[in-house]
Structure formats: structure tokens, C-alpha cells
Amino acid sequence: MLGIDRVNPVYYPFIQASLMLPQSAGIAGGRPSSALYFAGFQGDELLFLDPHYTRPAINFRSDYTQADLATYTCSTPRRIALSRLDPCMVFGYYCATLESLIDLRSRIELLADDGIKSIVTFDNGYAPESALQSDTTGGSESQPNPSVAVDRHKELPIQQFSDVDYNSYANRPKSESEEVLSRCSEEEWVTDL
């Protein structure tokens, strides 16, 4: 939780910076009793899609048109002020490779170096003892599991960036939600809440 009733303003810069990271998959959270999907921000407002957009059921048939299916998703982005957010959130990151994970760690640590209060911490990749041992004999004595190759004393390498351009994320392939946001002009955004 990032606060008691509302998000503590000390976390606003991290929320915004997190959404700009190339590994960001967005944020789930929102307001009390309502989960929203945040995919971007503008100024002090987060842009979101409501995954709970509902409508009456349509008749069952074997084939539906794209127009039929489109009516079941929210196609208009909305916005909400950071100051109105519920403090319970889930930050999503997708790292397809070890290099991507190392890059994410480096970028988040650079944010902290810039004085931005982070909600994400990294451990050095130590595996619990239970993962290093396996009882294959049926007895009480545990043996090392050769399929688990973990050096518990080796730190995850950290890649250093002297000048990170967080706006470079715009050049990566856009997610479906980002496509929706980019197709709508600012005038179409609905201020919600």
C-alpha cells in the first residue's frame, strides 16, 4: 500500500516514471471498490481503461463480427488525478530476457539515485535453501539438486547507464491499450472521478 486513504504524494513521481519504463505492463488499481488499468499519464493525471465495462448479453451464435466483439471493451480512455487514487496498486513489468530484467533494475535504481522514492526493491537472486536441496532417497537426508544451479553468493549483475532517456519507450511496439490511447485525441478523454 502506498498510503492509508490516498496515495502518498511522495510516490507520484515513481508512478509516472514506472509507466514510462520499457518493461512496464501498466498498473492495476484505482479507487476503492473499483479496479482500473492504467497505461499512461499526462501531467498529474493517469490515463486508464476500465476492464469492467459491461453491457447486456447478446444472443449466442457461432460467429460474431468485430463490431459485436468491440462492444465488450472500453474504447475510450479516461483519466483520474493522482491525488484521487486508492493506495492499493499492482505494478506490472514484463522482462522477456535476463538483460531486460537487468535493464529494469538499473533504471529503477537510477530513479532512486535521482531522488525518486521507489516502491520496488531487488534482491541479489539468492535461492532459498529448500530450492537447493531435494530428498531423492526417501530418507531424512537431503541431497543437493543438480538441476538447480544457483550461486547463492553471486550478485545479479547491474548494468549502469550514464544517460537514460526514459522517453525512448515510445519507440517500442505498443500494447493494445496504448494503441487505444494513441488513437484518441485529448478532447476524447473523459475525466472520471
For 80-100, write each residue's pLDDT tens digit. 999 988 888 899 999 999 999
- Asked whether residue 78 is assigned to any structural domain, the reply reads yes
Residue 2 lies in a domain: no
Does residue 4 form part of some domain? no
Residue 32 structural domain? 9-191
> Is 133 inside any structural domain?
yes
The pTM of the whole model exceeds 0.75: no
Task: Report the number of distinct structural domains present in the chain.
Answer: 1
3-state helix, strand, coil in the chain (%, to 5): 30, 20, 50
Does the residue 3 lie in any domain? no
Integer Cα distance of 19 and 133 in angstroms: 39
Residue 144 is which amino acid?
P
Is residue 97 in some structural domain? Answer: yes
Say if 132 falls within a structural domain. Answer: yes
Query: What pLDDT digit, counting tens, does each position of 144-157 carry?
Result: 443 333 343 444 44
